[in-house]
Amino acid sequence: MSKVTTIEPPVKAKPSVDMEVLASLHPELMDDAYVYVHCHFDNRWQDMLIRIWKTTFLVDRDSTTKAELIHAENISYAPVWTLIPDRQPYTFLLIFSGLPKSCRVFDLQEQIPEPGGFHIQNIRRNETDVYHVDLV
């Protein structure tokens, strides 16, 4: 008789802050060197796990230029999962490299080898490059 073993995904209750990456974000460059995306998730479930892949980009709709994910706050990088509070709203911050000055509309795309990646289309560019998106 064979034994079935269940493997639980690695879970991190609260992602740590990478101080080295944070220290490299020079305040005098923040206005035009980075794009900040505050992600809001209305969690209606229990024991919900989320994570972000390093293959998450902001994609310019006109030129298909990609801004790379530089840093994530309050969410784990795959393959580690973040357990979020039951039935509570949850927010996390993604920091990307700058978009081309010509960019007017872009998409947030988590390009991953499985279903369920984040994909928010047609985000209108603003002067501050700080955005708030709702994830469904």
pLDDT recorded at residue 80: 96
pLDDT recorded at residue 5: 46
What is the pTM for the complete model shown?
Answer: 0.76
Q: In what order do the strands lie in the sheet with 81-83?
A: 11-12, 81-83, 49-50
For 79-134, how does the pLDDT look when each residue is reduced to its tens digit (9 = 90+)?
999 999 999 999 999 999 999 999 999 999 999 988 888 999 999 999 999 999 99
pLDDT band at residue 64 under the 50/70/90 scheme: confident
28, pLDDT greater than 50:
no
What tokens were used for 112?
């991953």
φ, ψ of residue 16 to 5 degrees: the values are: -85, 160
pLDDT recorded at residue 98: 96
Nearest to 40 by CA among 66, 71, 74, 69: 74
pLDDT mean across residues, the chain: 85
pLDDT recorded at residue 116: 84
Q: Are 98 and 32 in contact (CB under 8 A)?
A: yes
Burial class (CB in 10 A: 0-12, 13-18, 19+), 82: buried
Per the listing, tokens 């505050």 go with 38
Q: Are 16 and 108 in contact (CB under 8 A)?
A: no
Q: Are 35 and 59 in contact (CB under 8 A)?
A: no
